[in-house]
A and B are shown apart, each in its own frame.
Chain A
Amino acid sequence: GEDVEQSLFLSVREGDSSVINCTYTDSSSTYLYWYKQEPGAGLQLLTYIFSNMDMKQDQRLTVLLNKKDKHLSLRIADTQTGDSAIYFCAESMSSSNTGKLIFGQGTTLQVKP
């Protein structure tokens, strides 16, 4: 069945780059997403990548997709204290039902001043 795995915790210093990794098992994923969750709040979409792309860059965020290894990563450049949150990787299996998502466990990013 589908499964998405993430490491649970990452700690970086302010100004450094953060790299959050994710692996997934189902090669038929259509879209792969990164969501951010701040304490007590809902999920905010950060970025997504279509499964036929290798890379997507959006300001400080860079997403890399390795389809062969089923590996997705999110790089945050110049990490700030406001980036401290839980980051979820998710996959969607259908282009017509993009809210039906399989989520990883979430990676808690701690940014130290």
Chain B
Amino acid sequence: DGGITQSPKYLFRKEGQNVTLSCEQNLNHDAMYWYRQDPGQGLRLIYYSQIVNDFQKGDIAEGYSVSREKKESFPLTVTSAQKNPTAFYLCASSPTGGTEAFFGQGTRLTVV
């Protein structure tokens, strides 16, 4: 089945540790995105990539890093510099010139 797969679904991290969230898509989409969702708030854009080996900061990039070495994959690293990392993280992809973005099922990150 075509779609976007995020893993793991739940992730626990100790303070001071980096953690990487996986996002893979087999939709052959050029563009991929990472959003953060906090309770009672809309989604906020962390990073996005429109093509392999290129990515841009979104509105809340501080404390996060990404890579786009393959078209199918856009992993997000939450670094220890992110002061409030507990949140629900959503990955999305869209085709260039398309009308919609497709979302994964999300990863809930909790710092313990």
Seen from chain A, the residues whose Cβ lies within 8 Å of a Cβ on chain B are 4, 8, 31, 33, 35, 40-45, 48, 50, 88, 90, 95-101, 103-106
Contacts and interface: CB of A to CB of B under 8 A. Distances in A.
Interface of B: 4, 6, 31-33, 35, 40-45, 48, 50, 58, 90, 92-94, 96-106, 108
Given A42-B90, A42-B106, A98 B100 contact: yes
B106 A40 contact: yes
A45 B102 CA distance: 8
A101 B96 contact: no
B42 A98 contact: no
Nearest to A101: B101
Given A42-B90, A48-B99, A95-B97, A101 B105 contact: no
Contact of B101 (A8, A41, A96, A99): A99
